[in-house]
Structure 1
Amino acid sequence: MTDMIARLDAAANKAPVVPVLVVESVSSAAPLAAALEQAGVTIAEVTLRTADGLKVIEAMAKAAPGLIVGAGTVLTGADADAALSAGAEFLVSPGMPPGLRAALAGREHLVIPGVATASEAMARHEEGFRRLKLFPAAVAGGVPALKSLAGPLPHLKFMPTGGITEAEVPAYLSQPNVFAIGGSWIASPADIAAGNWGRISEIAGRILATA
Structure 2
Amino acid sequence: MSAVLATILIPNRAFSISISATAQGNLTPPTAIFPDTVTNGDFLISANDDPDNFIIGDGQEENTRWTLDFTQDPNWVAFSTTELLTSAKLTLTLTTCCNIETDEFRIQTLPSIATPSIQSLPRNTTQTIELELLDFYSSSDILGVFNRNSGGLIPMTYFDDALVSFARLELSNDRSQSVPEPSLILGIVTMGAIGSFATRRNEKV
TM-score range, shorter chain: under 0.3
TM-score by length of 2: 0.20
User: Whose strand proportion is higher, 1 or 2?
Assistant: 2
Bigger RCO of structures 1 and 2 (CA < 8 A, at least 6 apart): 2
TM-score by length of 1: 0.20
Structure index of larger Rg: 2
